[in-house]
Chain A
């Protein structure tokens, strides 16, 4: 766990964010996981669940990483990692892979985020001022078409600045596309009337989460703590 600074409390780790996000996946769901924290989520799916992971390079029904010595260089995920297949898996061309994303055929998509606005706008592909070309990859197709889009990210930037904002300042991925945000401090739903604080990280209060969130968070009464099996106080 990392230190929050002013309060001296421990925020969730990236693995714990992934652990909480995994609870959003229903058994039998078809799911695309993006780069970063989303890529850690598969490890936290309940053992008795079957999730059909989609990889935008043309796989539905991707299984765990290939064991050492059993890698196949033609069987890799979108991050170049050698993977395996579940029974019932399918291969297809790139256009079909993105018909599934953009066409709204996947049950849940989970992307990493740099910024999310109170309207659910997402910025996740380029930090202005950083060297290099950046890269959109499949994120715009996924965000535009997702029936249910979850963003996992740290609640604040390295300098402490909020990443949940009234308006994104980084280059956008898609407008009004995010449904739920899972961070190291909270679970927040994007609703018509604004952001709804659904859960707080163990040991944190809604007021503490609000203090590092730019737009107003809606909540009433006791906000439950995020159920993290590995959480320490």
Chain B
């Protein structure tokens, strides 16, 4: 079967079919590894009523901040929205956002379970806390655990360092973070990269995200925040 062309000419073309009401997960942590150019594409498109899964909720206008500023998001799953997430906090305080706070490592495992075809799993994290409310509890090998469901989304928007034309990805330093997990958990995974190289140019030993998890690739340089 011939390889499908995954390479898009522009950010706007890569997100053109994202509909109102879509659920989207975004890679990134602490300013590194956010798909900032794809986020700007969603801002330009003006798509509304988005459900978002992300560790953080922006820093001022940066990262996801612009989408909260534009009131494009009405529900969020996050581990640490962040004190610098000015527009998220405003929207949340005004009652315009439904928020589910998730322990960061459990967010990872729920994404990983989705990608791995595991609908739910038991975990000791959050037992006896607000996180356990409404969840089935069971004692497993003497330890209290709660049932956590896997977590997917219509789209995963991620940032990688380099892709080959097939969609194999490598990352740069701590900008890796959630990106490989979200690549595996989204129905349609769109990656922005600094550079696309010819298929075969990446060392197979070094590939972090195999191409099977990547559906669209777009080159985007420039927009970063620290």
- A positions within 8 Å CB-CB of B: 55-59, 71-80, 82, 91-95, 97-99, 101-102, 121, 131-141, 144-145, 171-175
Query: What is the CA–CA distance of A93 and B28 in the complex, to the nearest angstrom?
Result: 11
Query: What is the CA–CA distance of A133 and B82 in the complex, to the nearest angstrom?
Result: 9
Contact status B109-A95, CB under 8 Å: yes
B95-120 CB contacts (< 8 Å) to partner A: 99, 101-106, 108-109, 111-112
Question: Contacts of A75 on B, CB cut-off 8 Å?
Answer: 32, 173-174
- B positions within 8 Å CB-CB of A: 29-33, 55, 59, 78-83, 88-89, 92-93, 99, 101-106, 108-109, 111-112, 123-131, 171-181, 208, 224-226
Contact status A175-B108, CB under 8 Å: no
Question: Contacts of B179 on A, CB cut-off 8 Å?
Answer: 93
Query: What is the CA–CA distance of A140 and B82 in the complex, to the nearest angstrom?
Result: 16
Contact status A131-B29, CB under 8 Å: no
With A135-B79, A136-B101 given, is the CB distance from A80 to B30 under 8 Å? yes
Query: What is the CA–CA distance of A47 and B104 in the complex, to the nearest angstrom?
Result: 33
Ordered by A's residue number, 12 sampled pairs between the chains whose C-beta atoms are within 8 Å are: A58-B174, A73-B32, A73-B224, A74-B173, A78-B30, A80-B31, A94-B177, A98-B104, A137-B80, A140-B126, A141-B125, A174-B128
Contact status A73-B177, CB under 8 Å: no
Partner of B103, one of A55, A57, A79, A138: A138
With A92-B176, A93-B180, A132-B83 given, is the CB distance from A74 to B32 under 8 Å? yes
Contact status A93-B105, CB under 8 Å: no
Contact status B176-A144, CB under 8 Å: no
Partner of B32, one of A76, A138, A173, A174: A76
Chain B residue at minimal CB-CB distance from A72: B173
Contact status B178-A134, CB under 8 Å: no
Min CB–CB distance A136 → chain B (angstroms): 5
Contact status A77-B181, CB under 8 Å: no
Query: What is the CA–CA distance of A132 and B104 in the complex, to the nearest angstrom?
Result: 18
Query: What is the CA–CA distance of A120 and B173 in the complex, to the nearest angstrom?
Result: 36
